[in-house]
Amino acid sequence: MADYDVFNGDADGICSLLQLRFAEPRNATLVTGVKREIDLLKRVEAAAGDRITVLDISLDKNRDALNQALDIGAEVFYVDHHFAGAVPASSRLKSLINEAPDVCTSVLINHYLRGAYREWAVVGTYGDNLKHTAAGLIKNLQVTAEQVSLLENLGIYINYNGYGSNIAELHFAPDQLYRLLSQYQSPFDFVNDNPQQFEKLEQGYQQDLEAAQSTVSLTVTDAVAAFVLPDEPWARRVSGVYSNQLANDNPDRGHAVLTEKANGNYLVSVRAPLNNKKGAAALCMQFPSGGGREAAAGINDLPVELLAKFLDQFKQAFSH
């Protein structure tokens, strides 16, 4: 019998697994990658009796591998908030799926564990840019305003670290960062004990964001705005958090950040207006390699010949 922990390499995936393994320790093989690598379950060669935990990756994007694991006799615990489609009916599958726009996997695990490691749930929730939800979790914590700011920044920085076309472009490999964080049941202890690692994430984030803010727009109206970033490692790292910042600064506007790729196509991050978190997944799923959730979604490889169509659909989706 083998154990596997399969998780998204962003803040939500990492913080979900931190909570779960503090509560239920398990010497599992870690299976993760850059944030955009979501078809992770296919990397597990499951056998009968194996225990597989899957966190923060779309069930729909992993359906074939999930069915294969269940058919072979593995036990699967699946927790996620992205588009799932039909959930397989199996006595070997336990799932917690909630696609509501104000929910993330860290919140689902926090509820599952009855708030046992709420500080890490707050970090993951901030990482997914769910500020209002995070504020609700904080009500049960005895923290200062300065500490709240630290939890928010840590979530943003861990999330930022997950973006890139490959592990080499990240400041920390997600499994490496998870192992480092897993030594601390409180995020405050991690920051206190690891000022250099925290500073590395913070400085990288700030430098990349500053570069992004000097780029030009494709289109800007009261309802939508789209920006293009160059085919550079810094641009791939910052694309998601830049999208979140744009959404926070203009909560009534839909946003798209397109990053040029070496093949001439685009990597796309879409954020629905924060004041009406609907439509991002439906928009992106109209295109090959697109997916996500109501509030935030993306396209991994938008063909350049579909750029005009994407911009038209993007404007239609959020110009209500």
Rounded to the nearest integer, the mean pLDDT of the chain is 96
- pLDDT value at residue 224: 97
- Name the residue with tokens 């056998």: 47
Write down the pLDDT at residue 257.
Answer: 97
Instruction: Give the pLDDT confidence score for residue 216 in this predicted structure.
Output: 84
Pairing of the two strands 75-80 and 29-31: unpaired
Q: How far is residue 185's CA from residue 160's CA, in Å, rounded to a whole number? A: 21
Amino acid letter for position 281: A
Contact 274, 243 (CB under 8 A): no
Name the residue ranges covered by the structural domains of the chain: 3-203, 217-318
Cβ-based neighbours of 272, under 8 Å, separated by 6 or more: 101, 247, 254, 278, 279, 280, 294, 295, 296, 318
Per-residue pLDDT band at 140 (split at 50, 70, 90):
confident
Tabulate helix, strand, coil % of the chain (nearest 5). 45, 20, 35
Q: Does domain 3-203 have CATH number 3.90.1070?
A: no
Above 90 in pLDDT, residue 148?
Answer: yes
**Which pLDDT tens digit goes with each residue over 226-236?**
999 999 999 99
Express each pLDDT in 245-260 by its tens digit: 999 999 999 999 999 9
Domain 217-318 CATH assignment equals 3.10.310.30: yes
Q: For 305-314, what is each residue's pLDDT tens digit?
A: 999 999 999 9
The token pair at 85 is 């489609």
Query: Measuring CA to CA, which residue among 298, 253, 257, 267 is closest to residue 280?
Result: 298
